[in-house]
């Protein structure tokens, strides 16, 4: 077993705290260690998973290779010429990382928050067994496996995994099912319907599969093997190939088609997962009240008396309270109802500011 961590992305939903040069995975949002470092901490050196530092690879855009080396000096890095979403990153990892074709590859995002790390590792171990073809009763040989999270509200922020009603079993006491299909971020009404559908889960964006199974799937559903395999060890050739690549998620490029062909299984993940996708999720993770959004440059908005505003002045993060009108030439975060939790937000911004000053 080995793990691939995908680290990059613009982090636009966390502007202005996240910036293009320092995206969300590299920031110390939940403590002194970055989300990327916490991702490695969560999976390396624990009894539930046989992973050491050399069994973990980080795939990142060349702009962030220095940040990865700074934060994870023991961890191998696979550098992409440019960010092209997760399908290209997974394809490059599948082709370039020389591991046994029948070995299970775990794929994780670098910016998730897991409240119960032990439960997460148990789910990953179960997913690896399913990916290796050890789950009796599913009827799928060497499936592609995705982790699902039971929804607690009709969210329109996540994709949904819809399981078959019959092809279900348990592996290491973790629920597993063959998928009938994926649904991209739904409407509010459709999210309510899916919430009432037993077994339907949010797509956590965490995967497990044999290296050979993913290579076969990439060949079947995409042209990525044909494009990238001949140039996988050539910097100039790879850059030219990436120039023509359309950014596409691995879900859209591979897993949706594979699910229609009954080649994808879901393992249900416990452990309090969140993708920390925006300000509302960050506020909840640090124990603060309120919800947040990014106000785009030039967009008029109003902060009320109970709201907080996060902006950058001469490159420095500044926190202020309403009431006041907002219309800025740069992104501003409006944290509605968060004034009562100002101390927690202050602590967060101070930690990020200290990290920025040390760089």
Q: Give residue 158's pLDDT band: very low, low, confident or very high (50, 70, 90).
A: confident
Predicted confidence (pLDDT) at residue 117 exceeds the cutoff of 70 = yes
Q: Please report, for the chain, the start and end positions of each structural domain, with discontinuous segments joined by +.
A: 2-274, 279-358
CB atoms closer than 10 angstroms to residue 226? 10
pLDDT of residue 172: 67
Say what the pTM is. Answer: 0.92
How remote is the C-alpha of 277 from its chain's centroid?
9
Instruction: Supply 299's token pair.
Output: 């967009």
CB atoms closer than 10 angstroms to residue 343? 9
Predicted confidence (pLDDT) at residue 136 exceeds the cutoff of 70 = no
Instruction: Supply 61's token pair.
Output: 């855009």
Predicted confidence (pLDDT) at residue 8 exceeds the cutoff of 90 = no
CA atoms within 13 A on the CB side of 196: 5
Structure confidence by residue, pLDDT tens digits, 15-69:
999 998 899 999 999 999 999 999 999 999 999 999 999 999 999 999 999 999 9
Structure confidence by residue, pLDDT tens digits, 54-96:
999 999 999 999 999 999 999 999 999 999 999 999 999 999 9
Distances (CA, A) of 54 to 89, 139, 213, 235: 19, 33, 22, 23
pLDDT of residue 11: 72
pLDDT of residue 269: 85
Q: Tokens 């079993």 correspond to what residue?
A: 169
Instruction: Supply 64's token pair.
Output: 């962030």
Cβ atoms of 60 and 9 closer than 8 Å = no
Alpha-carbon span 343 to 326, nearest angstrom = 22
**Which has the higher per-residue pLDDT, 168 or 289?**
289
Q: Give residue 315's pLDDT band: very low, low, confident or very high (50, 70, 90).
A: confident
Predicted confidence (pLDDT) at residue 140 exceeds the cutoff of 90 = no
What crossing angle do the helices spanning 85-96 and 211-221 adopt, rounded to 10°? 130
Predicted confidence (pLDDT) at residue 205 exceeds the cutoff of 80 = yes
Alpha-carbon span 221 to 96, nearest angstrom = 19
Predicted confidence (pLDDT) at residue 203 exceeds the cutoff of 80 = yes
The secondary structure of the chain, three-state, reads CEEEEEECCCCHHHCCCCECCECHHHCCCCCCCCHHHHHHHHHCCECCECCCHHHEEEEEEHHHHHHHHHHCCCCCEEEECCCCHHHHHHHHHHHHCCCCCCCEEEEEECCCEECCHHHHHHHHHHHHHHHCCCCCCCCCCCCEEEEEECCCCCCCCCCEEEEEEEEEEEECCEEEEEEEEEECCCCHHHHHHHHCCCCCEEEEEEEEEEHHHHHHHHHHHCCHHHHHHHHCCCHHHHHHHHHCCCCCCHHHHHHHHHHHCCCEEEEECCCCEECCCCHHHHHHHCCCCCEEEEECCCCCEEECCCCEEEEEECCEEEEEECCEEECCCCCEEEEECCHHHHHHHHHHHHHHHHHHHHC
Alpha-carbon span 315 to 300, nearest angstrom = 22
Alpha-carbon span 356 to 295, nearest angstrom = 23
Q: Give residue 152's pLDDT band: very low, low, confident or very high (50, 70, 90).
A: confident
Domain 2-274 belongs in CATH node 3.90.1170.50 = no
Q: What mean pLDDT, rounded, does the chain reach?
A: 91
pLDDT of residue 359: 78
pLDDT of residue 165: 67
Alpha-carbon span 235 to 48, nearest angstrom = 37
pLDDT of residue 174: 72
Cβ atoms of 112 and 120 closer than 8 Å = no
pLDDT of residue 10: 67
Strands 56-61 and 2-7, sheet pairing = parallel
Q: Tokens 């080995």 correspond to what residue?
A: 2
pLDDT of residue 271: 63
pLDDT of residue 171: 67
Structure confidence by residue, pLDDT tens digits, 227-279:
999 999 999 999 999 999 999 999 999 999 999 999 999 998 876 888 888 99
């Amino acid at each position: 077993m080995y793990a691939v961590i995908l680290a990059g992305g613009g982090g636009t939903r966390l502007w202005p705290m996240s910036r293009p040069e320092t995206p969300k995975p590299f920031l110390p949002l939940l403590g002194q260690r970055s989300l990327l470092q916490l991702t490695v901490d969560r999976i390396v050196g624990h009894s539930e998973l046989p992973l050491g530092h050399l069994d973990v690879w980080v795939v990142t855009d060349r702009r962030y290779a220095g940040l990865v080396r700074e934060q994870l000096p023991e961890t191998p890095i696979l550098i992409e010429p440019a960010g092209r979403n997760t399908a290209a990153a997974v394809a490059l990892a599948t082709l370039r990382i020389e591991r046994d074709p029948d070995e299970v590859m775990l794929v994780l995002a670098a910016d998730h928050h897991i409240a119960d790390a032990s439960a997460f590792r148990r789910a990953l171990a179960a997913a690896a067994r399913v990916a290796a073809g050890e789950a009796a009763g599913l009827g799928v040989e060497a499936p592609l496996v995705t982790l699902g999270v039971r929804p607690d509200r009709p969210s329109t922020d996540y994709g949904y995994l819809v399981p078959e009603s019959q092809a279900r079993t348990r592996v290491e006491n973790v629920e597993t099912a063959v998928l009938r299909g994926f649904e991209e971020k739904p409407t509010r009404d459709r999210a309510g319907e899916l919430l009432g559908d037993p077994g339907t889960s949010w797509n956590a964006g965490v995967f497990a599969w044999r290296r050979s199974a993913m290579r076969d799937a990439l060949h079947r559903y995409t042209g990525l093997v044909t494009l990238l395999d001949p140039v996988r060890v050539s910097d100039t050739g790879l850059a030219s190939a990436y120039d023509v690549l359309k950014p596409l998620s691995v879900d859209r490029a591979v897993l949706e088609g594979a699910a229609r062909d009954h080649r994808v299984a879901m393992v249900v993940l416990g452990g309090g997962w969140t993708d920390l996708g925006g300000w509302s999720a960050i506020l909840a993770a640090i124990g603060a009240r309120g919800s947040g959004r990014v106000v785009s440059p030039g967009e008029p908005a109003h902060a009320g008396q109970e709201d907080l505003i996060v902006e950058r002045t001469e490159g420095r993060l500044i926190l202020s309270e309403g009431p006041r009108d907002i219309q800025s030439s740069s992104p501003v975060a409006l944290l509605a109802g968060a004034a009562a939790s100002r101390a927690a937000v202050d602590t967060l911004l101070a930690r990020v500011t200290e990290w920025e000053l040390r760089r």
